[in-house]
């Protein structure tokens, strides 16, 4: 069922350049408030979908309205001694004192329009962009990025230097999704709408993209994205960086290999013990 906000945004998008500026800014402000509260999401679980998720295209259309109809203003800090310039429609998120979110001092930023659940810990410096959704008791470590519209589940550890890619355009594209209790290792990169299922472990330095095949040594399978299905890392899989020999052209002569993610095991009690360390800092 279409909500009044959804209908309003879709009508404004259909109007294109002739859309009423004030109406567009007002609609975006309402969308930003709903995204911040977690009552609206850019993508959400959908048991009827073959991949378990659906994209809410109208939400991303609404975010684009905020960019289109915003004015660049001086957003400098420290009495102007720390200069920033951004769209006036995209302020930083303000948290209530009783929100239950820890943002440790040291240069982190969260854009308004991102949902940060109670119990989340943000270690500095890290950045969460508009449309992102982060579930309860997750940890976003230092120098980590959670891109626009990315969906992070509950009790997820996004380790230092990890990059969780975002996507606003095309509006129908699936954002990166990290499901509950996954561990994303340091300096990993997850991009282009890849899905990491619950309790999976992505080892440090692993890169996953929308066109990356993953080699499952345990099950003897090669997991590949298709035109209608993104890359999906199975539940509980432990993925590490690997290499695959280049057999074409000069590859054998030069001894070349291409990096590729490899599933070396599925999560067990020993893995669980190693991924519970962050409980000591809460």
pLDDT of residue 256: 96
Cis check for the bond before 170: say yes or no (omega within 30 of 0). yes
CA trace torsion 45, 51, 57, 60 (10° rounding): 70
pLDDT in tens, 191-224: 999 999 999 999 999 999 988 899 999 999 999 9
Lowest mean pLDDT among 9-23, 86-100, 239-253, 268-282: 268-282
Write down the pTM of the prediction.
0.92
Q: What average pLDDT does the chain have?
A: 93
What domains can be seen in the chain, in order of their start residue? 4-72 (1.10.166.10), 89-281 (2.160.10.10)
pLDDT in tens, 80-112: 898 999 999 999 999 988 899 999 999 899 999
pLDDT in tens, 66-77: 999 999 999 998
Reduced to 3 states (helix: H, G, I; strand: E, B; else coil), residue 272 is helix
Reduced to 3 states (helix: H, G, I; strand: E, B; else coil), residue 158 is strand
> Would the pLDDT of 35 be above 80?
yes
With cut-offs at 50, 70 and 90, classify the pLDDT of residue 127.
Answer: very high
Cβ-contact 150, 165 below 8 angstroms? yes
């Amino acid at each position: 069922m279409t909500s009044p906000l959804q209908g309003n945004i879709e009508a404004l998008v259909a109007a294109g350049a002739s859309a009423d500026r004030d109406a567009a800014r007002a609609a975006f402000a309402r969308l930003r408030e709903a995204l911040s509260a977690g009552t609206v999401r850019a993508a959400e679980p959908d048991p009827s979908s073959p991949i378990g998720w659906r994209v809410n295209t109208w939400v991303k259309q609404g975010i684009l309205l905020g960019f289109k109809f915003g004015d660049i203003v001086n957003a400098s800090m420290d009495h102007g001694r720390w200069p920033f310039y951004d769209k006036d429609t995209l302020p930083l998120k303000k948290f209530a004192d009783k929100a239950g979110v820890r943002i440790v001092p040291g240069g982190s930023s969260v854009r308004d329009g991102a949902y940060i659940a109670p119990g989340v810990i943000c270690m500095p410096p890290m950045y969460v962009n508009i449309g992102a959704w982060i579930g309860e008791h997750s940890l976003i470590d230092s120098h980590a990025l959670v891109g626009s519209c990315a969906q992070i589940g509950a009790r997820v550890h996004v380790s230092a230097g990890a990059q969780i890619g975002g996507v606003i355009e095309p509006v129908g594209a699936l954002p990166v999704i990290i499901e509950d209790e996954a561990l994303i290792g340091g300096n990993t990169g997850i991009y282009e709408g890849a899905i990491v299922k619950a309790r999976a472990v992505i080892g440090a330095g692993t890169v996953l993209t929308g066109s990356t095949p993953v080699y499952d040594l345990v099950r003897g399978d090669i997991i590949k994205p298709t035109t209608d299905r993104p890359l999906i890392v199975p539940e509980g899989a432990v993925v590490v960086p690997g290499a695959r020999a280049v057999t074409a052209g000069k590859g054998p002569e030069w001894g070349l290999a291409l990096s590729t993610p490899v599933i070396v095991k599925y999560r067990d009690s020993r893995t669980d013990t190693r991924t519970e360390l962050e409980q000591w800092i809460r």
